């Protein structure tokens, strides 16, 4: 229980990760990768409208168009700037809900079950950027969706196939994000500690440079004013 409690209460490393990526000049390449990915994913709901495997009714069109608009709004957001923690959470939660709605209402149960594998990608992104309670929420949405689709497949007659596919999907949904978060927490804790002086708890030279560069960049983009006070002890 103590291990679970520590895992639940551990903070995320979103700010550290943002600062580190910026210091390594990797934020813009990652923004381009994410923008390209969500742009491509935006075409998926539209393409599903052309297949006879999905119902031809207004809820289907509403979900498909909403999912496409969400993806393309994310594209614009990724191209404009690195998202804040709050924006990242909103996009991740909306993505999980759209995928769940599509799998439960649009797709055939077996196709919907297989499509639940996308939750591993959403959960992986959340694991690298958000805290444990939010990751648990996203994984709960993915797990519930997969279980419902698996039960519906089993009700069609092939219980063994439904169970085997469900176990494979659950393994991908749960294992990849959880392992990713463990890795980020370990590396993040070491990286954060490497920027702090052990005796005083203050930034060392490297941590100081990173913190000032990050804050100065935010102020310059916001056209604010930066004040710097130096104290010689």
Residues 43 and 68 sit within 8 Å (Cβ to Cβ)? yes
What are the tokens at 221? Answer: 């983009």
pLDDT band at 217 (very low <50, low <70, confident <90, very high): low
Q: What is the pLDDT of residues 29-77, one digit of tens each?
A: 999 998 998 899 889 888 888 887 777 888 888 888 888 998 899 899 8
Nearest to 141 by CA among 111, 118, 163, 161: 118
Nearest to 123 by CA among 107, 147, 99: 99
Alpha-helical segments (H) within the chain: 2-9, 14-23, 27-48, 58-80, 85-105, 109-115, 118-129, 132-155, 159-194, 205-221
User: Mean pLDDT score of the chain, rounded to an integer?
Assistant: 83
d(CA 100, CA 105): 8
User: What pLDDT does 207 receive?
Assistant: 76
């Amino acid at each position: 229980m103590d291990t679970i409690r520590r895992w639940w209460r551990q903070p995320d490393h979103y700010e550290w990760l943002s600062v580190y990526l910026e210091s390594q000049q990797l934020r813009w390449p990652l923004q381009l990768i994410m923008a390209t990915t969500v742009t491509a994913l935006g075409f998926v709901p539209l393409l599903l409208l052309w297949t006879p495997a999905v119902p031809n009714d207004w809820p289907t069109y509403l979900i498909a168009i909403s999912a496409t608009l969400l993806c393309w709004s994310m594209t614009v957001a990724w191209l404009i700037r690195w998202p804040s923690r709050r924006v990242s959470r909103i996009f991740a939660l909306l993505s999980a809900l759209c995928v769940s709605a599509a799998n439960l209402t649009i797709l055939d149960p077996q196709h919907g079950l297989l499509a639940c594998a996308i939750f591993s990608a959403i959960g992986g992104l959340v694991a690298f950027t958000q805290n444990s309670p939010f990751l648990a929420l996203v994984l709960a949405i993915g797990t519930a969706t997969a279980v419902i689709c698996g039960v519906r497949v089993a009700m069609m007659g092939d219980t063994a196939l439904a169970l085997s596919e469900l176990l494979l999907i659950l393994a991908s949904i749960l294992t990849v994000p959880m392992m990713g978060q463990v890795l980020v927490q370990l590396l993040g804790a070491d990286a954060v500690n490497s920027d702090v002086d052990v005796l005083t708890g203050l930034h060392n030279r490297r941590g100081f440079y990173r913190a000032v560069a990050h804050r100065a960049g935010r102020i310059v983009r916001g056209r604010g004013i930066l004040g710097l006070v130096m104290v010689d002890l």
